[in-house]
Chains A and B, each alone.
Chain A
Amino acid sequence: MSSAPEEHLRLQEIGVSFGNVNVIPSLDLSVRKGEMVAFLGPSGCGKTTTLRVIAGLNKPSQGRIIVGGRDITHLPIHDRDMGMVFQSYALFPHMNVSRNVAFGLQMRKVSGRDAEARAAQALEMVQLGHLSHRKPKELSGGQQQRVALARALVIEPSILLLDEPLSNLDAKLRDEMRVQIRALQQQSGITAVFVTHDQVEALSMCDRVVVMRGGNVEQFGTPTEVYERPATAFVANFVGRTNRLKGRITSEGVLTAAGQQLRSATTLAPGAVDVLVRPHRIRLQETADAANEVQGTVSSITFIGDLVQYGVRVDDEEVVVEEATRRDRRPLAVSDKVTLGWSAEDTLVYPAGEK
């Protein structure tokens, strides 16, 4: 066995148009066997469209889809062997839970008793064995979601496609399902594509994240890469929160922002730039070893419980700083003078005006 993970899904120059609107210009992507990849982006970024192209539900206007070395671009939907979980779950309302799950097996000509046994097994896997005779409308949202998951997994599909599966659940259930979906995916070793607009879902569940905007891939990397080294200002803004300061790089290559010189790990051509710093990477007062140090005045304080959010006026810009609540230091008050410090690695620099 080679250690290099095998490629399982490849999208080659995929383009999609709806009428005159070119939703996806040209998209290239490669997903490895057994990994779970998130398509992350705001609504209208083309993430769901891309997923539907893989499933065959939307036709690409150009390009090829290759799964396991086989070109499936022109394969009809029912021959693609994809397990899809829809945002609305799309359970068959006229069938009970057990028949819903067995449907895909039936279509694959699995014998009745065999299909029943495998459906029962899949339902046990999502802890719903006891509800197999209920109709979908007699289930809660979370239960319907698990039935949809069992229905997609029982056919042992080539790829599991999840279209915003958690967005209709309440917060607590969403946390539980996140863990459960990831566990099921890892147990079965199935290749999965997970569409979401929620960065927490993307970062916490997936091996790699595709950040999309306007039908283009902004960045494709591990959650850490996407978060720590955002390829563009858009990625930095969309994944996690940031402060944005107006700055310049002089012809000597010196970065200035907030009225003073700053140090960054990235180098850029001279000109106007945006400097991005994440709120929780800024330290208050204890700035002895910080590469960057600026003075400011506290202008607002928001207590969130585990966090305190300070608005700090620096030069003529407002910087948000987040700090874990603590007891060892006197809490800051509005109009206190403070020193902010952060490292060169946390100083992200992008050409100005990039959104």
Chain B
Amino acid sequence: MSAVSASAPPRQWRDGELAILLLLPIALINAIGFILPVLNLARYSFNRSRIGGGIETVFTWENWAGLLSDRFYLELVFNSVWISLAITLTTLIASYPIALYLHRASGAWRTFLTVLVISPLLTSAVVRTYGWIAILIDDGPVVSAIKAVGLPAPSLMFNIKGVFIGLTEILMPYMILALMAGFGRLDPRVEEAARTLGATPARTFTKVILPLTLPGIALGCLLCFVLAVSSFITPKLMGGGRVFLLATEIYDQAIVTLNWPLASTLSMLVLIVFGAALWAYSVVLRRLD
């Protein structure tokens, strides 16, 4: 105590000075760890690839032109976006009731359930993906159960269905956390007001709860869409090499074919897709306010 009082009075920071100082570390990390690599990727996408993984440092539009004129890649982009949107929607529908319940729960019960929801994040996605493979594989418990009931056995693994199921489950914790973060405006008194004014539970949901939780929905969808588009391990393992998405193709081009300029161009394309998603999100948010 005495040491503190004996020292000189703390220097008064001017507005902004402190903010800049506090933001500097993260800005530096971002610059070195994110912006520079991305610029590097952008540069590669205008270089030419040589057989055997070499890069010819010339400026060329070849990669971009090739990509945009190749049906395979256009379909790849379209499929990736479409599947990711569908997975995002499924994740939202599966997560929303859980998030709403958690938002309303209180005390130790809420803490327990929240930990339960977050706990999958403590396990690596690789492990969880293998878990899903074990569950969904052709003679696994789910298929056996369906067969036992007498229904035709579906093929749930090493195709798009498996990717869909696995990714939905893997993304749910993120969606639930994002939804809960966005549920701040949902005041139980406001719901009660709607009920006393004559709204049935269903109309209270559509007229009050849903509109008030839209910011959370928008945030959760943005987050899960970005994660779905960029997810690599789950589609790679659960797709069994038959599901082609942007992330898996980038991996193949970069690691298997060693065509770094093409991998870079695809990565830039993913970045453009993310930019579009972010733009859509900001439009939605502005509409809401």
Contact = CB atoms under 8 A, between A and B. Distances in A.
Given A83-B197, A151-B197, 10 more contacts: A57-B196, A82-B196, A83-B196, A84-B192, A86-B193, A90-B187, A90-B193, A91-B190, A103-B199, A107-B198
A94 interface: yes
Contact of A78 (B187, B195, B208): B195
Contact of A77 (B189, B195, B288): B195
B192 A104 contact: no
Nearest to B198: A107
Interface size range on A against B = 20 to 34
Contacts of B50: none
Interface string B205-249: 001100110000000000000000000000000000000000000
10 contacts: A76-B200, A77-B192, A78-B197, A84-B192, A86-B189, A92-B208, A93-B190, A103-B197, A151-B197, A155-B197
Nearest to A161: B196
A9 to B, nearest CB: 15
What 4 A-B pairs have minimum CB-CB distances, sorted nearest first? A107-B198, A104-B197, A90-B189, A90-B193
A94 B212 CA distance: 7
Residue with the greatest number of chain B CB neighbours at <10 A, chosen from A55, A79, A83, A107: A107
A108 interface: yes
B190 A90 contact: yes
Interface residues of B, number: 20
Interface in A68-91: 76-84, 86, 88, 90-91
Interface string B161-200: 0000000000000000000000001010110111111111
Contacts of B190: 90-93
A92 B187 CA distance: 9
A152 B194 CA distance: 11
Q: Interface residues of B: mostly helix, strand, loop or mixed?
A: helix
A306 to B, nearest CB: 39
B107 to A, nearest CB: 12
Contacts of A83: 196-197
A84 B211 contact: no
Interface of A: 55-57, 76-84, 86, 88, 90-94, 103-104, 107-108, 151-152, 155, 161
B110 interface: no
B210 to A, nearest CB: 10
Interface of B: 185, 187, 189-190, 192-201, 203, 207-208, 211-212, 288
Nearest to A148: B193
Contacts of A77: 192, 195-196
B196 A84 contact: yes
A85 to B, nearest CB: 9
Given A92-B208, A94-B212, A108 B193 contact: no
B127 to A, nearest CB: 41
A104 B198 contact: yes
Nearest to A84: B196
A107 B196 contact: no
Contact of B195 (A57, A92, A161): A57
Nearest to B199: A107
Nearest to B191: A90
A84 B197 CA distance: 8
Contact of B194 (A56, A82, A93, A103): A103
A107 B189 contact: no
A82 B194 CA distance: 11
- Which residue of A88, A91, A93, A94 has the most chain B CB atoms within 10 A of its CB atom? A94
Given A88-B187, A93-B212, A94-B211, A78 B199 contact: yes
Given A90-B189, A94-B212, A55 B196 contact: yes
Contacts of B193: 84, 86, 90-92, 151
B189 A155 contact: no
B211 A107 contact: no
A307 to B, nearest CB: 39
Contacts of A104: 197-198
A29 B107 CA distance: 35
B246 to A, nearest CB: 36
A108 to B, nearest CB: 6
Given A78-B198, A78-B199, A108-B198, A57 B192 contact: yes
B196 A92 contact: no
Contacts of A56: 195-196
Given A78-B198, A107-B199, A93 B192 contact: no
Nearest to B192: A57
B194 A92 contact: yes
